[in-house]
Chains A and B, each alone.
Chain A
Amino acid sequence: GENVEQHPSTLSVQEGDSAVIKCTYSDSASNYFPWYKQELGKGPQLIIDIRSNVGEKKDQRIAVTLNKTAKHFSLHITETQPEDSAVYFCAASIGRDDKIIFGKGTRLHILP
């Protein structure tokens, strides 16, 4: 079935440095790719998304790139801050009923 692979599972970055999380997807019909940040005990919060007609999107310190040919997309966080520490999930739309499936998540630690 369709799946989304996410790497790395854990990432430690010095405060101020950049963090990159990568995902690949299997369904060539996927056209929507959101990224979520989840803090402990809370629901996921959308931080940025991209649709298949765009190759890159940026929102302040956060950017997402999409390569449809290779079926992979990445999250870039620049100038990382302590509050960026959380679990990040990539996701991709599948099927015709607007379902999205998630990657396994990346636990990001921002080191002081």
Chain B
Amino acid sequence: GAVVSQHPSRVICKSGTSVKIECRSLDFQATTMFWYRQFPKQSLMLMATSNEGSKATYEQGVEKDKFLINHASLTLSTLTVTSAHPEDSSFYICSAARSGTGYTFGSGTRLTVV
């Protein structure tokens, strides 16, 4: 079945630094990947749609200069949280769409900014 690998699973960083999260589709090519953020006991909120070879499309209210998305290949999308602050602490999850099998989610990244 379709597998999406997300790394790291947990990261702690200092305020003001940047953190990169990787999302890989292991056994299929994903022209489109999605990045979500989930705060404790809340739902998944779509942040942006990552398109291979082009700029990401950001949802309203999401700062594109703060959350940099790169989709350099058909199997890899990265999300970089720049100049992280404590309020950026959250659970970040990627997903990839595969024709015929729906959406597969990564295992998530727990980001804590101290």
A interface residues (Cβ-Cβ under 8 A, vs B): 1, 32, 34, 36, 41-46, 49, 89, 97-105
Contacts and interface: CB of A to CB of B under 8 A. Distances in A.
Contacts of B45: 102
A13 B89 CA distance: 33
A41 B105 contact: no
A97 B57 CA distance: 10
Contacts of A34: 102-103
Interface of B: 6, 32, 34, 42-46, 49, 51, 57, 60, 93, 97, 102-108, 110
Contact of A104 (B32, B43, B97, B110): B43
Given A42-B108, A43-B107, A98 B44 contact: no
Contact of A100 (B103, B107, B108, B110): B103
Decide if the interface of chain B is mainly helix, strand, loop or mixed.
strand
A37 B56 CA distance: 27
B34 A104 contact: no
Given A42-B108, A43-B108, A102-B44, A97 B32 contact: yes
A103 B104 contact: no
Contacts of A101: 46
B43 A43 contact: no
